Amino acid sequence: MKIVGNISVHPPLPQAIHRLQELAYNLWWTWTPDAQILYELIDKELWERVNENPVKFLRKVSLNRLQQASRDHDYLQMYRSVLQRFDAYMKDDEDTWFKRNYPDRQDELIAYFSAEFGLHEALPIYSGGLGILSGDHCKEASDMGLPLVGVGFLYPQGYFTQQINSKGGQEAIYEKIDFTEVPATQAVTAEGNPVVVHVDLPGRTVYAKVWKIQVGRVTLYLMDTDVEQNAHQDRELSARLYGGDREMRISQEYVLGIAGVRTLRALGYQPTVWHMNEGHSAFLSLERIRELVQGGMEFDAAAEIVRAGNIFTTHTPVAAGHDSFPLELVDKFFWQYWGQMGIDRERFLALARHEHEWGAEFSMTVLAFRLSAYHNGVSALHGKVSRRMWGHLWPGTPEEQVPIGHITNGVHTESWLAPEKRSLYKQYFGGSWLDDVDSPEAWRGIRLVPDEELRTAHQACKEQLVSFLRLRLKRQQLRHGEGHWKLARIDTVFDAKALTLGFARRFATYKRATLVFHDKERLRRILNDPNRPVQIVFAGKAHPADEYGKALIERIYRLSQERGFFGKIAILENYDINVARHLVGGVDVWLNTPRRPLEASGTSGQKAAINGAPNFSILDGWWQEGHDGENGWAIGEERKYKDEATQDEADALSLYAILEEEIVPEYYDYPSVWTGRMRKAIESCGPQFSMRRMLAEYTHFLYVPAMESSHANRDKCGEPARQLSQWKQHVRNEWQTVHVAVPEVPPQQAKTGDPIEIEAKVWPGRLSVHDIAVELVTFAAQDGEKAIAPSAEQQQPIALLSVGMQAVMPAYQEPGHDPHDGSVRYRGVFVPEETGKYSFGVRVRPHHPALIHPLELGLSVWA
């Protein structure tokens, strides 16, 4: 029989509940449990079978079930209540955080670019932490009413589905997403035409269809190159997240950045602020410059305008996590492009040139830094590491003053709080506490929750986790072809009353997933104590090309099948948002063992903490800020080791000692102390590591300042940007003529609070005194160290203070001075507030009132 076509038939929605379809296409339901229950109540088994995807659910549910729900009085009452909340949330005149705090900024727009968005397991277009953060960012932006639009890819094959075979090997399964079964619709223009954009890649034009995903009030536009106009290789271009070779990668990033800008233009958007979440989208700056140059502006002024509105967030302290491309590959893709920007090849390559020991490459991170005025890491420690990694882009600048700040990551509370905990918190915190999740006062209600109620809520989550884990393991063993004896044993693995540790993250070697197995026999004894048993559940994917990461998964799986570990160690396959929700809601302790300082931030431990699971972690990423001595445990010491093996040994010994001597006894022998620790984890981490706190900081310190500087540079057809760019070029050309000298100052003794006066002699050269600033920079040594001045080779001491010096009189007015010397005398006063040793230096740097950051040019002269 010949098949000539396929027809998808799905039931019509009864009028009484017809808005279930509308609700399904707005991901507001992903963080609204009552909205999810509307679907679950109709057919619980089907709801679980379709992975809690309401669009797919409505296509498969029986008409009879829908009709029954439409006649159920209690169901209709709940349906109307949820829709009323949804309508109130979506109203244009709804009072929001952004409207209250920035009523004069309602016409602004923030364009948020990310290579992945982790919104729900129904949309598997994320690989891990970066995507989950992007998804939470959009959800909280919606809650706060930020004027934000997201841009990314809708990968037809998503990220891979992970299967672990009978030998422990990771298998990557790619399945094409059926777009009729996910909450995405094709984007259309104001005239109703489908949005299709194109870019020119080497030898051909590539087209991208644009999909729209509604996340509460925030809209995401995700591109897809799987369209008929494209050749097969280009239809596969956006097929998979982080797939293919370097040419595939540069092609994807070309589309993300350049076609992403064109997507917003096609939809009529004119963003004020452009936020690059990692360097993958850095090509967007080139396209924005090209637009301005093609409109008649010279390159330097255009670049100044683009910089003024650009924000760049870097996410990794691991060198391999920063994309860079060979110069010949960049030539292949951009040989026609730089002319449209009004520059030549050398100047184009200089925008992103990054020198390695094997030669120069075109770095997406360098490009993002050079063409943005605002930069941040994602934790305090990561900000420090980033300033060290990238400080060479601002030569002569002390590490502490490199213009890379930090905003520590947070989590979208409503998305990650287990329903049982959410219900309990609401009862004791008050009905509106979720409107103030960044306020410590909002979380103090946890002190009112009785011990027994907190333990009961957590135990319910823990039992769900154990049931979920057994179900997943049984499915896995059935696929492996195991017999009845092995399958029956799975029904008894993991004890819902035993101390349970969770470890879930991407399997990269620096995350040290196997550190806990450093001493197998010692661990075996800990796990199998008959009176105080311990169990550990692992989950995570390794990148398909990461053989070392895959080897870690294989080792853990094989260990989990050994005597003494079977039933005590388990590794769940296909780590996704659904698995993560069960883990962070149900484990007792969250384990994290990265090699410090390679964990930029991490957020999984934050999700566990708000659910009452204390962290047991290396003091890396966010935990260095979060740990207060009472809300969890710190593994190891904050010091350097001679090699990695020594570090691993020390950290493993610390891990075992804390587990044996503190965690296990406290959990089993002192339940009230344990409950108190749960409370401390919730109360301390809840507000500090909320996405609301994070986005409030982004708004105050990055978004609104970028709005202001963007407008300032665009004023009068870009005249301020033109003047500033010309001034910068003049300063760069003449900077070598600037000199400074300081008379030799003998060692001095002073008391705290005594003013110390320093003088310097400055020759502005061919610049004006108005083009420079002269500063007295003091360096305070740490205990046992010598205070030192900046150098390119040395790390800087942490205590540094800059004080402006004032011109007191032209030096040539001094008796016996050469009147043609051209120098100016400056005086500065330093008042030490602490005892200790201090050194000082005098720095001359460029100065202009329109500079966004005083050290942005990376030019300075020291004495």
Contact at 8 Å (CB) between 630 and 680? yes
Predicted confidence (pLDDT) at residue 83 exceeds the cutoff of 80: yes
- Among candidates 613, 345, 248, 606, which has minimal Cα distance to 454? 613
Q: How far apart are CA 140 and CA 97, in angstroms?
A: 11
How confident is the model over 428-442, as a mean pLDDT? 94
Is the bond preceding 815 in cis, omega lying within 30 degrees of 0?
Answer: no
Enumerate the β-bridge partners of residue 275.
112, 311
How confident is the model over 697-724, as a mean pLDDT? 97
Residue with tokens 């760069």: 732
Maximum CA pair distance of the chain?
109
pLDDT at 240 (0 to 100): 80
pLDDT at 239 (0 to 100): 80
| Three-class SS state of 695 | helix
**What stretches of 63-219 show up as alpha helix (H) in DSSP?**
63-70, 73-90, 97-101, 129-144
pLDDT at 838 (0 to 100): 80
Q: How far apart are CA 188 and CA 266, in angstroms?
A: 9
CA torsion angle 413 415 418 423 (round to 10): 70
Residue with tokens 């050749």: 231
Q: What is the CA radius of gyration of the chain?
A: 29
How confident is the model over 557-563, as a mean pLDDT? 95
Element (H, E) at 201: strand 196-201
| Three-class SS state of 256 | helix
Predicted confidence (pLDDT) at residue 242 exceeds the cutoff of 80: no
- pLDDT tier at 781 (50, 70, 90 boundaries)? low
- Among candidates 294, 149, 719, 268, which has minimal Cα distance to 286? 294
Q: How far apart are CA 776 and CA 232, in angstroms?
A: 62
Predicted confidence (pLDDT) at residue 271 exceeds the cutoff of 90: yes
In b/e form, how buried is each residue of 729-763, taking b as 16+ CB within 10 angstroms?
eebeeebeebebebeeeeeeeeeeeeebebbbbbb
Q: How far apart are CA 301 and CA 307, in angstroms?
A: 10
Predicted confidence (pLDDT) at residue 817 exceeds the cutoff of 90: no
Predicted confidence (pLDDT) at residue 798 exceeds the cutoff of 60: no
pLDDT at 789 (0 to 100): 44
Predicted confidence (pLDDT) at residue 836 exceeds the cutoff of 80: no
The DSSP result for 381-428, as a single string, is: HHHHHHHHHHGGGSTT--GGGSS-EE----B-HHHHS-HHHHHHHHHH
pLDDT at 301 (0 to 100): 98
pLDDT at 790 (0 to 100): 46
- pLDDT tier at 204 (50, 70, 90 boundaries)? very high
Enumerate the β-bridge partners of residue 739.
763
Contact at 8 Å (CB) between 610 and 657? no
Span 126-135, pLDDT tens digits: 988 999 999 9
281-290, 498-507, 569-578, 780-789: the lowest-pLDDT one? 780-789
- pLDDT tier at 794 (50, 70, 90 boundaries)? very low
pLDDT at 92 (0 to 100): 82
pLDDT at 121 (0 to 100): 93
| Residues ≥6 apart with Cβ < 8 Å to 232 | none
57-66, 307-316, 821-830: the lowest-pLDDT one? 821-830
Dihedral sign, Cα of residue 389, residue 394, residue 399, residue 401: negative
Average pLDDT score, the chain: 92
| Three-class SS state of 569 | strand
Contact at 8 Å (CB) between 606 and 325? no
Give the Cβ contact number of residue 602 at 10 Å.
25
- pLDDT tier at 841 (50, 70, 90 boundaries)? confident
Predicted confidence (pLDDT) at residue 784 exceeds the cutoff of 50: no
Element (H, E) at 120: none
pLDDT at 797 (0 to 100): 40
How far CA 173 is from CA of 32, 158, 187, 499, in Å, comes to 31, 10, 29, 34
The DSSP result for 478-540, as a single string, is: HHHT--HHHHHHHTT-S-TTSEEEEEES---GGG-TTGGGSSHHHHHHHHT-SSS-EEEEEE-
Q: How far apart are CA 854 and CA 580, in angstroms?
A: 43
- pLDDT tier at 1 (50, 70, 90 boundaries)? low
pLDDT at 430 (0 to 100): 87
pLDDT at 159 (0 to 100): 87
How confident is the model over 397-407, as a mean pLDDT? 95
Q: How far apart are CA 5 and CA 411, in angstroms?
A: 45
How confident is the model over 719-731, as a mean pLDDT? 97
Residue with tokens 């950045």: 257
Pairing mode of beta strands 499-504, 589-592: parallel
CA torsion angle 459 461 463 466 (round to 10): -130
In b/e form, how buried is each residue of 381-403, taking b as 16+ CB within 10 angstroms?
bbbbbbbbbbbebbebbbbbbbb
Predicted confidence (pLDDT) at residue 173 exceeds the cutoff of 50: yes
Query: What is the DSSP secondary structure assignment for residue 446, as one 8-state letter?
Result: G
**What stretches of 627-769 show up as alpha helix (H) in DSSP?**
644-658, 664-669, 671-688, 691-698, 704-734
pTM over 0.75: yes
Contact at 8 Å (CB) between 262 and 195? no
Span 99-142, pLDDT tens digits: 999 999 999 999 999 999 999 999 999 988 999 999 999 999 99
φ/ψ of residue 534, rounded to 5: -130, 145
How confident is the model over 696-705, as a mean pLDDT? 98
How confident is the model over 619-646, as a mean pLDDT? 94
Predicted confidence (pLDDT) at residue 809 exceeds the cutoff of 70: no
How confident is the model over 35-42, as a mean pLDDT? 98
φ/ψ of residue 416, rounded to 5: -115, 0
- pLDDT tier at 589 (50, 70, 90 boundaries)? very high
pLDDT at 93 (0 to 100): 80
- pLDDT tier at 796 (50, 70, 90 boundaries)? very low
